[in-house]
Every structure is written in C-alpha cells, then in structure tokens.
Amino acid sequence: MALIVDILAFALLLGIVIVVHELGHLMVARSNGVFCSAFSLGFGPILFSKKDKLGTQWRLSLFPFGGYVKMFGDADVSSFRECVPEGASEEDMERMSLHRKRPWQKLLIAAAGPVANFLLSIVLFSIVFAIKGAPEYGNLISIAKEDSLAYVSGLRDGDRITRINSVETNDFKSLKKEIINSRGKRMIIEFERGGFSRNISINMFERKGEELIPIEFLGVSPKEALFKKLSVLEALKAAIVETYVISVDNIVGVFKIITRKADTKNVGGVLSLFKMSSISVQSGFTSFISMIAMISALLGAMNLLPIPLLDGGAVAISLIEWCFGRPLNKKLIGCISMAGLAIVAGLMSLGIWNDLSNCKFFNWFK
C-alpha cells in the first residue's frame, strides 16, 4: 500500500511541475498569436483528449515522464509533424506560425516554461514558510553514503561539527562555507560524539601524479532543522532566495560535472527523484509541498541551460538572431541540436547508471 501511495505521489509531483511548465509556454505562445494544436501531459499512447474552443487538443498520455506543447511552425522534436489550423488561410497560417514570430517573441515563449516553474516554486515555498516556518539548519550532520569522504575519514551520522580549521561552525551555513574554503587544502575538523570532543584531519584533494585535484564535496548534509515562523512578506522574500539558491547551485553543479570539476556520482536519475519524493511524502504534507517547490525550481533551472533541445538553447538562439537581425542557418541549428541531444542523453544516461549502481543492481545482476 505504501508503495502505491509513493507512486501516486511521484506521479502527482511530476504532473504538477510539468503542467505548470508547459502552461507557461502555452499561455505566452497564445498571447503572441501562435496556434497551439496540442497540449500533452506525458508521451506515448493518448489515454484521454479533448479539444477546446481555440483548437488546442488537451491530452493525457500513457507515460507521464514529460510533456509538450505542439505549436504551429515549431521545429522542436515535440512537434512530431506539422498540424495545420483547421480552415486557416495562407495569411492566417503565416500569422499563427511560431517560425514567423520575431526573435524577442520566440525568446519570451521559450523562457515562459522555466519562469512558470520559478513562480510555482516561490508560491509553494512561501506557503510552507508562512505555515510551518523557514528551516534553519544546525551543525549536526547526516552521512548518507558509506563511500563518501566524510565516512571514510571517520565522521559518522549524528556527529556535531563545532569547528573547521579553528573557525566556529554553529550552523550548517557556516560549516558549508568552511568546507568550500578548504577545497584543495588539508582540513582540521573538530566534532562532538557521545559527549566527547574529537578531531580529524581530511585532505580535500587527491593526488594524480604530481598534480593535486581539489575535492568539491565532503559528503555531509544537515540532520536536523529548526523552523522559524515568518510573516507573509518575510516568507515571500525567503521563498525567492530559496528558489534562487536551488537554481544557481544546480546550474553551477551541471557545468562542474561537464567540465569534470565535480564527481559524476552526484548526478541522479528518476530513481533518485522517486526516493526523494517517497521520503518527503512520509515526512508530511508540508515536506511534500517543499519537494514539489524544489523540483519545480530544479526543472526551471535545468531548462534554462544554453543547450539545444532545452528552453535555454531556444533562448540563446533567439538572442543571437535578435542581435544579428536574421535567422540562423538551418543546417547549423541542426548540428547544434544534435550536439545538445548528445549532452542531454549523456546526462540522463549518467543519472540512470548512478541510480542502478546505488541500488546495487549490477551486484545483483552478477
């Protein structure tokens, strides 16, 4: 029964963030006169469909891991095939085609999905912060993986880190700051366990020949959170900051992974997302709402990466066309799109590989 609840909650989480994302595209596309022939939650066989007065067919498809808006004149992969507006003249088709819109209009349509996700994240975080309060994390740590640098170095779940390199760490924010400052150096950690004070030395680097490679992550997270009640305006401000931090951290993280400055083991896939969703459901309603807000911010941030096939790629192309005053060569866009597809497919494959490795799938297979 618990598994069924987890699956339904996961489907609800994905459905909300995807629908909001695609609604952002749809609303801005329509406001700019683009004909949208279909709005789909999911891919594959259509389970339910209904056409509205504006000619858009609303669909619910079998596989809920994604969605799309099919726009007339869109060269996107989600367009499948061109769908000519019923009874439209040549002049109408020219007017309703995305392809004929100005670069700044294409930019707004492409950016609308991520912006909608950011707005959803801010609204949901604001509600949680106003009802439950904003979390403040102490210096009590949790260690999730036994192969992390923290565990291998001797730290354990429930330790309280009091100092790093003689600097007091009274909360997780200051703790994280000192860990970041210690990259590429030796770090002295003072901590408490079972009422006794201890200290260990950790090298935040690894040797490859004569080269020292800085280590980005220690592998610890906050174990406890204290919640501070906020007014509506304070909750809104905190929600904006939280959404911004999640978005920036994930964009920076992706670039570090692509440039091999961060461990590829940090990339998770659908199974990791399902596990996080399951934990949040078990922790209560506000925890699940916070998870939706976090995933919404994450989806918005990931889609803004300047990678073709993502919204950020369309934004970048529209900016270039706006600056040069003419559309880019179709062959060039095709080549760029193939490169983007390779990057996206690579990240997705890496996430799936890490998920299977973490759940001991390959050990079982052997």
Q: Are 99 and 73 in contact (CB under 8 A)?
A: yes
The answer to whether position 208 is within a domain reads yes
On whether both 111 and 250 belong to a single domain, the answer is yes
On whether both 105 and 159 belong to a single domain, the answer is no
Locus of tokens 């009274």: 170
Q: Residue 64 has what pLDDT?
A: 74
Q: Residue 81 has what pLDDT?
A: 44
Q: Residue 112 has what pLDDT?
A: 94
On whether both 278 and 364 belong to a single domain, the answer is yes
The residues facing 211 across adjacent strands are: 208
Which residue range(s) make up the domain with 168?
134-228
**Six-digit token string for 345:** 């497919």
Q: Of 228, 244, 272, which marks where a domain is finished?
A: 228
Instruction: Give the DSSP per-residue string, 69-104.
Output: EEETT--SGGG-S--PPTT--HHHHHHH-GGGS-HH
On whether both 147 and 222 belong to a single domain, the answer is yes
User: Hey, CA dihedral for 305, 310, 312, 317, is it positive or negative?
Assistant: positive
Q: Residue 293 has what pLDDT?
A: 94
CATH number, position 138 = 2.30.42.10
The answer to whether position 318 is within a domain reads yes
Q: Of 228, 251, 275, which marks where a domain is finished?
A: 228
The answer to whether position 335 is within a domain reads no
The answer to whether position 85 is within a domain reads yes
Q: Report d(CA 281, CA 289) in Å as an integer.
A: 9
On whether both 106 and 175 belong to a single domain, the answer is no
On whether both 179 and 220 belong to a single domain, the answer is yes
On whether both 126 and 265 belong to a single domain, the answer is yes
The answer to whether position 119 is within a domain reads yes
On whether both 278 and 354 belong to a single domain, the answer is yes
Q: Report d(CA 63, CA 60) in Å as an integer.
A: 9
Cβ-Cβ contacts under 8 Å for 149 (sequence gap 6 or more): 202, 215, 217, 218, 219
On whether both 93 and 158 belong to a single domain, the answer is no
The answer to whether position 242 is within a domain reads yes
Please, what are the averages of pLDDT over each run of 10 residues along the chain (366 residues)?
A: 80 90 93 89 86 88 82 59 58 74 89 95 94 85 82 88 90 87 88 89 83 81 81 92 91 77 67 80 85 93 84 84 76 71 72 68 50
Residue from 237, 248, 236, 163 nearest 201 by CA:
163
Per DSSP, the three-state class of 259 is: coil
On whether both 184 and 306 belong to a single domain, the answer is no
The answer to whether position 69 is within a domain reads yes
Count of the separate structural domains present in the chain: 3
Q: Of 175, 206, 228, which marks where a domain is finished?
A: 228
On whether both 301 and 281 belong to a single domain, the answer is yes
The whole-model pTM stands at 0.79
Q: Residue 122 has what pLDDT?
A: 97
The answer to whether position 23 is within a domain reads no
On whether both 78 and 192 belong to a single domain, the answer is no
